[in-house]
Amino acid sequence: MSELKFDPKNYRIHGEKNKRLIQKSLVDCGAGRSILIDKEDCIIAGNGVYEQAQELGLKIRIIESDGAELIAIKRTDLKTGDARRKALALADNHTNDTSVFDMEAVMEDFTPNELDLWEFSIDVSSLDIGVESENKETSNNNLYTNKITTPEYLPKNEKPVISDLFDMDKYNELVSKIEISNLSNEDKKFLVCAASRHIVFNYEKIADFYANSDKEVQELMEDSALVIIDFDSAMSKGFVKLTQAIDEQYDIDHEE
């Protein structure tokens, strides 16, 4: 068997805690979920598990599939009521929870529309820009970093309607439940505020709306962090409509 290769662009970041728990799961419960490799022996899913399996010297058995069948692993040493089996079920889910996505890698490979199809949302506050790979675990543990980046959209010349900019369905569902609850008005007020986190913004449409709005709206959108403008980049690409005054000031500042 040729040696397996780690995914050169793994979308998951496996921090020390995640590695520690994966290894504990392998030691305490044995191997559970399989890993997935492509025809070139490069790992598609399970890079973290394979890394820890290598550390422990576990053997690897490869079963070939063309994707038309589901391959199940039968653990012949475990019964439904076994404590070790229960621990494996917990570990299988928890180890996934303790790794994080490499958002920069995801954003490099997928468009916002493609991510929408997978209902994959991005918390821009968790993103870092210009950070070396060895610092990624630290940056992803700090969701309040001041270094942020956003997907770069190419605004069109069409201004979308407001209703296309966001989806209130989940928010409205939560608010309805809160309003008919027996909670105090103070509790309801707090929970309604918290429910706003479930308003889903369509940032591609927001970019279109921004690019076709007047200066006052643009400034308020920037203050709300709905868009973050790299001034020089926006100018060079002609994305942003500037007022005459700003345009003239830019020319003065950039005179040779």
| Digit-coded pLDDT (tens) for 182-192 | 988 888 888 98
Mean pLDDT value across residues 118-147: 50
- CA-based nearest residue to 254, from 232, 229, 221, 224: 232
Burial of 40 (0-12, 13-18, 19+ CB in 10 A): exposed
Q: Let me know how long the chain is.
A: 256
Residue 2 corresponds to which tokens in the numbers above? Answer: 């040729």
pLDDT digit string (tens) for 68-103?
999 999 999 999 999 999 999 999 989 888 888 888
φ, ψ for residue 246 (rounded to 5)? -65, -40
Let me know if 15 is exposed, middle or buried by CB neighbors in 10 A (0-12, 13-18, 19+). Answer: middle
Distance CA 24, CA 91 (A): 9
Query: Half-sphere exposure (CA, 13 Å, Cβ side) for 46?
Result: 20
Confidence of residue 227 (pLDDT cuts 50, 70, 90): confident
Say whether pLDDT at 104 is over 70.
yes
What pTM was estimated for this model as a whole? 0.49
For the chain, what percentages of helix, strand and coil (3-state, to nearest 5) are there? 50, 5, 45
